[in-house]
Amino acid sequence: MKRIFFLILLAVMSTGIYAQTDDKGYKEGAWVLNGVTGLNLSQTAMTNWSAGGENALSGNAYLNGSLTHKNGNWLWVTNLILDYGLSKTKSQGMRKTIDKIGLSTQLGYSTNNVWYYTLMGDLNTQFAKGYNYPDKTHYISNFFAPAYSNISLGMEYRPKSNYSVFLSPVSAKMTFVEDDYLSEIGAFGVDPGDRFKIECGAYLKGRAEMPLMENVSMITTADFFTPYSSQFGNVDVNWDVLISMKINKFLSATINTTLKYDNDVKTFEEDGTKRGAKVQFKEILGVGVAYNF
């Protein structure tokens, strides 16, 4: 049994090693895995510091990768984003700084290796509860609350393996709120007491992986969705950017940004007055160890 497993593993590795890269950047018949993963840490330590301040420790672990398989006219691409970070200070205690799970997969068929008839599905959620700090009593999000999923059928323009644009006139956006408390208050656009909402609409997605300069690379993904309803024209946006800057063989600096807008996610003033949706933005700059694959 061990000998059979070893032979299978050797065959898979050989396929990835000896497959020829074509002018589009694909290795015909091979499974190609690439991306970046790492751990960023930041520490502030003070002793008898007259100017004031307090000790602090923060960090985040991340992964942004893709798996591509090209076989004849068929192309299968899967992307995975994982990111989780915490910070701790004496006055504020432990707080979550970033929390993201993103998975997408697509299968396309092409006759010219540029335009692909494509079926795409994705899922976006988080690992743990989220709070509107400093309030740590009432959580405002949780695992699979919300979770967003898009199932889309359309055309993808992919002139090279490292960047693409996908357009779907037939897309279903599903919102899941699998938490009793958040479901009861009607969070994330679901009706109070419901755990599921579906909208049909148009969907656009762009992705690029490219070097910006020597030892600096960028991976960016942007999603746009508008429903076929009275809300048509209100575009939900999710735009992720990861810039990785290699310092040496072991150390790397990263800039990770996320911009979001969801018309169903309303905001509240400090007095509890309900307001409309707002643009959400998060940026994290970190230095740590990273591995590019």
pLDDT at 25: 79
CB 108 within 8 A of CB 116: yes
Three-state secondary structure call for residue 74: strand
CB 71 within 8 A of CB 29: yes
Q: Which residue has the tokens 């398989």?
A: 69
What letter would DSSP give residue 161?
T
pLDDT at 52: 74
pLDDT at 192: 94
Taking only the tens of pLDDT, the chain with its 293 residues reads: 445 444 444 444 444 444 578 777 788 899 999 988 999 988 888 777 766 778 889 999 999 999 999 999 999 999 999 999 999 998 889 999 999 999 999 999 998 989 999 999 999 999 999 998 888 888 999 999 999 999 999 999 999 988 899 999 999 999 999 999 999 999 998 999 999 999 999 999 999 999 999 999 999 999 999 999 988 999 999 999 999 998 887 789 999 999 999 888 777 666 556 677 889 999 988 889 988 88
CB 143 within 8 A of CB 128: yes
| C-alpha–C-alpha distance, residues 170 and 153, integer Å | 6
pLDDT at 4: 46
Neighbours of 30 (CB within 10 A): 20
pLDDT at 47: 77
Give φ, ψ of 15 to 5 degrees: -60, -45
CB 291 within 8 A of CB 37: yes
| C-alpha–C-alpha distance, residues 228 and 225, integer Å | 10
* pTM of the shown model: 0.84
What are the residue ranges of helices labelled H in the chain? 2-18, 180-184
Q: Distance of CA 34 to CAs 2, 41, 68, 77, Å?
A: 28, 24, 9, 11
Neighbours of 37 (CB within 10 A): 15
pLDDT at 11: 47
Closest residue by Cα to residue 265 from 177, 197, 187? 187
